Amino acid sequence: MDCQSGASGVNGLIPILTRHRKVEEKEMESFPVLKEKTLKESLFQQRNLNVAAISTIHPRASEVSGEDVPDGCFPSSSKDSDEEESSEKVGNSIFYVDSQQESPSDENRGQLNMLSAAYESLDYDTCVNAAWLDEERTKGYTFVVKKDVARWLVVLVTAVLTALVGCCIDITIESLSKFKYTWLKTYTDYGVEHGVLIIPYLLWVALNIGPTLVAGYLGSYVEPVAAGSGIPQVKCYLNGVKVPRVVRIKTLVSKAVGVTMSVLGGLAVGKEGPMIHSGAVIAAGVSQGKTTSFKYDFGIFEYFREDHEKRDFVSAGAAAGVAAAFGAPVGGVLFSLEEGASFWNQALTWRVFFGAMMSAFTLNLVLSTYNGVPGKLTYNGLLNFGKFEDLTYEIWEFIPFLLMGVMGGLLGALYNFINFKLTQLRMRYITRPWQKVAEAILVASTTASVAFLMIYGLHDCRKIEDEASRSDRYPIQMYCNDGEESAVAAIWFQTPEKSVRSLFHDPSKSFEWLTLSVFFGCYFLLACWTYGLGIPSGLFIPTLLCGAAWGRLTGKLMTLLFPGQSWLNEGKYALVGAGAMLGGVVRMTISLTVILMECVGNITFGLPLMIVLMVAKWVGDFFNEGLYDIHIQMQGVPIMAWDAPPLSNNIYASEVLNRPVTTLRTVEKVSRIVEILKSCTYNGFPVVDSIPTEEEARNFKSYGTLRGLILRSQLTVLLKHKVFNENAHVWESSKVDIRLFRLSYPRYFTLQEVDLTEEDLECTIDLRPFHNPSPYSVVSCTPLPRMFNLFRALGLRHLVVVNDSREVVGMVTRKDLVKYRVWKHRGQMGLEELVIYDNVA
């Protein structure tokens, strides 16, 4: 728990409201600005925003008195006496008993209105301290050029490695699934012939369970962060949230092996989402020149061991992952831009694009060579939509496309709702690793059973037409005539990617109405159940497959309505359905359109795809959020939205800041630093000239003149290496420079790892060469959107609030801002205050 009073939470709203109102009544006559506030509040009310949440923002809002609020800001009451009573003194700072709750009760787990304090932020702001300046001064332009060349090199290596991981996953899946389906075909034919269908059924269940067991073990026991698609985690990372262990090699291995096994286990999953995560991990690993998992340091690229450098490489890695997964380099760049990076510059765009291109090219080269056509470069990505013969459309077809967009939005919202409820149940009741593995096994056997029942129960026969394509097809005759195959088995006896391709390209009338309807119903439910299991799994393919099924049904309906039209092509409608469904579930816009366009390889069809995705997003957004966002919210990740809440210009820094502030002196005693690090969880401390007494702090509402900001990580490094004034003779000779901090990045020491004697505790540290002497700071009357933009655009972690004399009056972190979230539901919107827990999992 923080050592400071935390969020009030929902329960605290009523007393705060009353308190706030009392203050207003008291000060109304003497302070004209308050009238203005009342006016603004009513404005808020008119616009259907939740005024209660705003006017009662925080108990701390009422702690700021008029003295330090310049004209134009809203003064509030002085600190409440009950809060004063709950304070205790540690060193020179006042700490409050935290109102933050430890973790939600079982029945509250999995709600969308919670934040977890366990997630820390990344620090994208460079700490330009004396040590950093020293490096800049001594190394000069040669170093700048070297760093720049190294950046290109890292991106190139990342791209090549990402593509190679993709190739390994693809080739393993191809080879092993060949065995699986050949066996299944042999035993199914045998079973049909001898009337013992139980044998192929049991074999199928066993062949599904085996790989799923491995995937479940990796995703539940070995590395839980490798479970799922990884896109939400990468999105959070790029947004500035430190997701523990997300970019480790162990995660990459679990992810790559796990997703291969999940696909082989016949589950409704794809390997594309995990490729994005894999690219991100590879980028983080290569750029750091060391592995934390294997505890090995190659001693290279030390200068990239900073959050903002690493983030840039991670966005390049994610783009390379998209490029390899979909053969979509431009889509990859746009994905990184849309989903992640808050900070973007031209040079970075160009480098990311280079990485994405290289990744797509390497994958193409390796797969073409593997498939015996070296140099032909026909394998664009892991997901290949195949070549559409005819993708022209008539202008009036926009009407069915629009309707399909609506349908995609509705089905996507339903998918997200069902998955949300299931995930909620999982978070409450399926918490142990063995339970997660057991659930995965249940899903794997249910998938096999459903598939088997469908093949057995639905009589849909079609001619085996294309002899050439038989090498990767396993035609099952079942009860069809000679020369015919079961169309249902054709969908199930292949990996989901190939099923998508079949639905796009198989000739008209390849599938019956009933087959497609039952397949869609079953696969939709299975996919809903599968996403969120404790296994690595991608969401794109199952969603595309569901959409392709109902899209093809729409195509059949169109053929029925307009018989004999040359432009009618069931595959085209399957493609539109797939796009609509995917858009309805994930709600991405530009990147998804471009990814699909690049997959299809047809620019003219970009417009229908864009329209369908846009409509699907709008319709889906009417009901709920995208699936990735839902999962992020359920985990309580403090992710920053693109924009500040609307109509929030009348919320000021003075209302969101946290105080009293725990500060350190420029020259501080070791014992006090240790005491503070022990009793607080804060990661940043303003450095001030001198710390006022408790009495002074209370009277003047300030905590000393701001001189800089120092991070917990920097303090632990200083303590660990005993950079004390009293032993200057020891460390000065060995030169304490920026490398000292970089070498322990990203896992800095904990206090337990710091060995200090009684004598050490009496020493002092001069923080001035190490703190950030120019931290971002704002005055109390800064409106919320301005602070929000600072955090969003600069990737800030701490923002110090100062008064006119540059004295510290409060602290603002990203959690203070993301706590206020805008909700939108069925045409209504409002502002809610999230409850902060120590941990929501």
- Compute how many residues bind ligand ATP; rule: CB under 6 A: 21
- Show the binding pattern over residues 103-132: x = contacts ligand ATP (CB under 6 A), - = does not: --------------x--xx-----------
Would you say 594 and 383 are in contact if contact means Cβ atoms under 8 Å apart? no
219 binds ligand ATP (CB under 6 A): no
Least CB distance to ligand ATP at residue 747 (A) = 14
715 binds ligand ATP (CB under 6 A): no
Of the residues 658, 714, 772, 777, which one makes contact with ligand ATP according to CB under 6 A? 658
SS3 label, residue 68 = helix
Applying CB under 6 A, the span of 216-224, 498-506, 677-685, 758-766 interacting with ligand ATP comes to: 677-685
Which bin fits 9, alpha (ψ -120 to 50), beta or left (φ > 0)?
left
813 binds ligand ATP (CB under 6 A): yes
The secondary structure of residue 536, as a DSSP letter, is: B
In the bound state with ligand ATP, the residue whose beta carbon lies nearer, of 1 and 525, is 1
Would you say 316 and 585 are in contact if contact means Cβ atoms under 8 Å apart? no
Q: Are strands 114-116 and 835-837 parallel, antiparallel or unpaired?
A: parallel
Of the residues 501, 816, 830, 833, which one makes contact with ligand ATP according to CB under 6 A? 816
In the bound state with ligand ATP, the residue whose beta carbon lies nearer, of 118 and 213, is 118
In the bound state with ligand ATP, the residue whose beta carbon lies nearer, of 229 and 662, is 662
Of the residues 594, 599, 651, 661, which one makes contact with ligand ATP according to CB under 6 A? 661
Least CB distance to ligand ATP at residue 644 (A) = 17
In the bound state with ligand ATP, the residue whose beta carbon lies nearer, of 351 and 659, is 659
Applying CB under 6 A, the span of 65-73, 82-90, 675-683, 764-772 interacting with ligand ATP comes to: 675-683
Single out the residue of 258, 224, 259 nearest to residue 244, CA to CA: 224
SS3 label, residue 241 = strand
Least CB distance to ligand ATP at residue 247 (A) = 17
The secondary structure of residue 103, as a DSSP letter, is: S
CA 803, CA 701: separation in Å to the nearest integer?
10
Applying CB under 6 A, the span of 621-629, 732-740, 784-792, 806-814 interacting with ligand ATP comes to: 806-814
666 binds ligand ATP (CB under 6 A): no
Of the residues 4, 233, 569, 593, which one makes contact with ligand ATP according to CB under 6 A? 4
311 binds ligand ATP (CB under 6 A): no
Of the residues 238, 257, 594, 811, which one makes contact with ligand ATP according to CB under 6 A? 811
In the bound state with ligand ATP, the residue whose beta carbon lies nearer, of 592 and 811, is 811
Q: Which of residues 775-804 bind ligand ATP (CB under 6 A)?
A: 797-798
682 binds ligand ATP (CB under 6 A): yes
In the bound state with ligand ATP, the residue whose beta carbon lies nearer, of 682 and 820, is 682
SS3 label, residue 690 = coil
Q: DSSP characters for 114-146?
A: EEETTPEEP--S----HHHHHHHHHHHHHHHHH
Cα of 752 vs its chain's centroid, Å: 31
Q: How many residues does the chain have?
A: 841
Contacts of 442 (CB under 8 A, 6+ apart): none
At position 412, the amino acid (one-letter code) is G
Beta-bridge mates of residue 820 = 833
Applying CB under 6 A, the span of 61-69, 281-289, 500-508, 658-666 interacting with ligand ATP comes to: 658-666
Least CB distance to ligand ATP at residue 1 (A) = 10
662 binds ligand ATP (CB under 6 A): yes
Q: DSSP characters for 105-118?
A: -GGGTT-SSEEETT
SS3 label, residue 420 = helix
In the bound state with ligand ATP, the residue whose beta carbon lies nearer, of 612 and 664, is 664
CA 622, CA 624: separation in Å to the nearest integer?
6
Least CB distance to ligand ATP at residue 798 (A) = 6
The secondary structure of residue 337, as a DSSP letter, is: I
* 496-526 burial code (b ≥16 CB/10 A, e <16): bbbbbbbbbbbeeebbbeebbebbbebbbbb
Least CB distance to ligand ATP at residue 2 (A) = 5
Q: Are strands 667-669 and 764-766 parallel, antiparallel or unpaired?
A: antiparallel
Q: Are strands 290-291 and 667-669 parallel, antiparallel or unpaired?
A: unpaired
CA 26, CA 522: separation in Å to the nearest integer?
64
CA 608, CA 723: separation in Å to the nearest integer?
63
Of the residues 313, 420, 492, 685, which one makes contact with ligand ATP according to CB under 6 A? 685
Least CB distance to ligand ATP at residue 662 (A) = 4
| Omega of the bond leading into 608 within 30 degrees of 0 (cis) | no
Least CB distance to ligand ATP at residue 673 (A) = 13
In the bound state with ligand ATP, the residue whose beta carbon lies nearer, of 23 and 656, is 656
Would you say 339 and 314 are in contact if contact means Cβ atoms under 8 Å apart? no
Applying CB under 6 A, the span of 35-43, 195-203, 224-232, 678-686 interacting with ligand ATP comes to: 678-686
In the bound state with ligand ATP, the residue whose beta carbon lies nearer, of 460 and 807, is 807
Least CB distance to ligand ATP at residue 682 (A) = 4
Tokens of 762: 């009496």
Of the residues 449, 602, 681, 789, which one makes contact with ligand ATP according to CB under 6 A? 681
505 binds ligand ATP (CB under 6 A): no
Cα of 758 vs its chain's centroid, Å: 45
- Show the binding pattern over residues 614-653: x = contacts ligand ATP (CB under 6 A), - = does not: ----------------------------------------
Would you say 577 and 548 are in contact if contact means Cβ atoms under 8 Å apart? yes
356 binds ligand ATP (CB under 6 A): no
Would you say 163 and 359 are in contact if contact means Cβ atoms under 8 Å apart? yes
Least CB distance to ligand ATP at residue 713 (A) = 10
Would you say 124 and 796 are in contact if contact means Cβ atoms under 8 Å apart? yes
At position 32, the amino acid (one-letter code) is P
CA 841, CA 109: separation in Å to the nearest integer?
7
Tokens of 226: 């490798």
716 binds ligand ATP (CB under 6 A): no
Least CB distance to ligand ATP at residue 58 (A) = 9
Beta-bridge mates of residue 116 = 837
Applying CB under 6 A, the span of 75-83, 339-347, 753-761, 805-813 interacting with ligand ATP comes to: 805-813
309 binds ligand ATP (CB under 6 A): no
2 binds ligand ATP (CB under 6 A): yes
Of the residues 20, 587, 815, 821, which one makes contact with ligand ATP according to CB under 6 A? 815
Would you say 552 and 516 are in contact if contact means Cβ atoms under 8 Å apart? yes
Would you say 405 and 614 are in contact if contact means Cβ atoms under 8 Å apart? yes
Would you say 686 and 661 are in contact if contact means Cβ atoms under 8 Å apart? yes
**Helical residues (DSSP H) of 336-432, grouped into ranges:** 346-370, 398-429
CA 683, CA 716: separation in Å to the nearest integer?
11
Of the residues 596, 812, 834, 835, which one makes contact with ligand ATP according to CB under 6 A? 812
Of the residues 65, 349, 589, 683, which one makes contact with ligand ATP according to CB under 6 A? 683
87 binds ligand ATP (CB under 6 A): no
Would you say 277 and 230 are in contact if contact means Cβ atoms under 8 Å apart? yes
Least CB distance to ligand ATP at residue 791 (A) = 10
At position 144, the amino acid (one-letter code) is V
Applying CB under 6 A, the span of 168-176, 507-515, 523-531, 682-690 interacting with ligand ATP comes to: 682-690
Least CB distance to ligand ATP at residue 59 (A) = 11
Sites of contact with ligand ATP (CB under 6 A): 2, 4, 117, 120-121, 658, 661-662, 681-685, 797-798, 811-816
